[in-house]
Each structure stands twice: as C-alpha cells, then as structure tokens.
Structure 1
C-alpha cells in the first residue's frame, strides 16, 4: 500500500454561519477523516478516498455481503475519526470502526455498506465505537492518533482512551 502523507481534515469556517438560510444545520464532512488499519501489518494511514468507498484498499474489489464468501480475506479496519474544535483546542470527538476484508487474488472482499454508513454517521455525532476491535488494532489506532497530534489526543475523552486500552498513553 502506498504511504500517503495526508493529515486529518480540520473543521473549516461554517459557510452558512450567520444567515441560517439554505444549508443551515447540514452535517459537513469537512471534519471527518477515514483511517485504514492494516491488521496484519499493524499500520494505520489516512485515506480520504474511503469517503466514497475508493480507498487504496477498496479499489478494484467487489464487496460481498457474506464474510464467509471471502474465507482468505486480509483483515482491515476502516475507522471514521471526527475532529471537533473546542475552547481547549481540537480533539478527536468521534471514533468508530468498521470491519472489512479483502482478498486481492480473487478481487473480492467483505464489508457491510450499511454498517460503514451508520458508523460514519455515529462518528459525526461524536460517538466512540471501538470495543469490537482486536487489541493489536486498538493499540495501532491509539498510537497513530497520539502521534498525529499529541495535543488533540490529550484533549480527547477518557471514553476514547479507555476504549482503545490507552489510558496510560
């Protein structure tokens, strides 16, 4: 997988601020970033293409709805990370993980598109849903988030840190 040096999206100025007209109250994707975790390699990277199901991992793969139909699929996590700016500074406000497997040799994979969409929505609504992740991937994600921006990590909720078994990071 290519090493992409993309950072997280940070909340931009609200284009509807002040007027309350068309588009007011609409959720924006400016403050969410998809992080792909390669479980076997123990690596995490931001891949903005995942916003439209076109990440490097997903390209060229036909996704099936039954996990057992891809028995040799390589495991990945797609993690939706929402950033919020508070008076203390930016923080990781919503973090939700979705399972995905890919078998490049047969160009097939498994993912639940409704789950991916719902988890994106939950992340935007500031939920933390990571308890179903394996411990190795939780550690990879915690270290990735902390290394990306230690201040954002420090401002983030105890719920996130506990969810990733990273109380001491």
Structure 2
C-alpha cells in the first residue's frame, strides 16, 4: 500500500465565478448607454418618397417630428381611412399643430429655440392639401425651418 495517491488526469478544475457580477454590470451599463429609446409609436402608414438631393440633419439641433398619412390597419377602424396628422402619440387636426409647436419650443433652452427644426415625415400617397394646412399652421407658429424626410434614390421612382 502506498501513502500517496496518483492524481487523476481527467478532472477539470472548477470554473471561478468571482468576476461574473462585474461582467454582468459592465454589460448592463454598456447597453444602458448605447440604447436609444423610441419616441413614439407610428400610427400612420409611412412610405417615404425618394429624392436625389438628400442631407442628414445635424444631431445638435432640436427636431420635432410631424407624421402624415393614412392610419395603419390597427387604427383605421377607429379613425377612418382619410389622411391624418400625428404628433407624438396622438392624431391632431392641422389647427392644433400651432399649440404643439409653441409648447415644444417653450420647453427648449433659450439658445436652442432659434435653431428649432420641424421635420415632416409624410407618406408618398398623402393628399397635398393636408400638408399645405400643416405648413400654414407652422408659419403661424413661426416655425419656419421645415425639413421633409425622404429616402435617397431616383425621384422618378415616386411616379406610379
């Protein structure tokens, strides 16, 4: 009989879990800083038209988005199938836009109020009359910087 036992070569050492909480919190912090929160749910159809001269908006400028188009199938039973204007998470009439714009501008810092931009995300099949009404209300609210959001491509693709 021997006093020493031979070591078994098939055993694996136990995995150390001491650094596991550090890794989990580091990943949690990473995803919290990189994740972008969604502003609002889109309640209108939004197939944007194509344009050739496209520029990106400067991220430093405050932007208010106004969506226009026919309500999606989820909302068409309640609101009908005619063109609607959406700001934030609700449908508004063009006459209510001025109030929304003034409220948004008053919430901005003083130095950002003159750089305020209104971005129109309009479905390509939307009636131009409702867009004209929206632009008139924006003019009344002194929101004169207006951008149309489009997809980059040949403008002839818009013709059906």
Same fold (TM over 0.5): no
Q: What is the TM-score when the length of structure 1 is the normalising length? A: 0.28
Q: What is the TM-score when the length of structure 2 is the normalising length? A: 0.30
Which structure has more RCO (C-alpha within 8 Å, separation ≥ 6)? 2
Between Structure 1 and Structure 2, which shows a larger proportion of strand residues? 1
Between Structure 1 and Structure 2, which shows a larger proportion of helix residues? 2
